[in-house]
């Protein structure tokens, strides 16, 4: 259940962000996320 609370915290943080911060984060993440599974997971969260 630790992972779930970690994800919930992350989502809350994400929802509190400004749109321009989200864009910046998406760019950073897509730079680092080379593995396809990570990208797939992120697409679920980041719409």
What is the domain partition of the chain in residue ranges? 2-45
Predicted confidence (pLDDT) per residue in 1-47, tens digit: 677 888 788 788 877 888 888 788 777 777 665 667 777 777 777 76
Q: How far, in whole angstroms, is CA 8 from its chain's centroid?
A: 11
**Cα–Cα nearest to 30, from 42, 21, 19, 20:** 42
For residue 1, what pLDDT is reported? Answer: 65
Which tokens in the block code for residue 35? 């593995």
DSSP 35: S
Q: How far apart are CA 39 and CA 35, in angstroms?
A: 7
Q: Specify the pTM.
A: 0.37
**pLDDT value at position 23?**
83
Q: What is the rounded CA–CA span in Å between residue 13 and residue 8?
A: 9
């Amino acid at each position: 259940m630790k992972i779930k609370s970690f994800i919930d915290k992350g989502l809350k943080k994400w929802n509190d962000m400004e749109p321009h911060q989200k864009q910046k984060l998406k760019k950073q993440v897509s730079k680092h996320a080379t593995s396809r599974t990570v990208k797939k997971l992120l697409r679920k969260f980041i719409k």
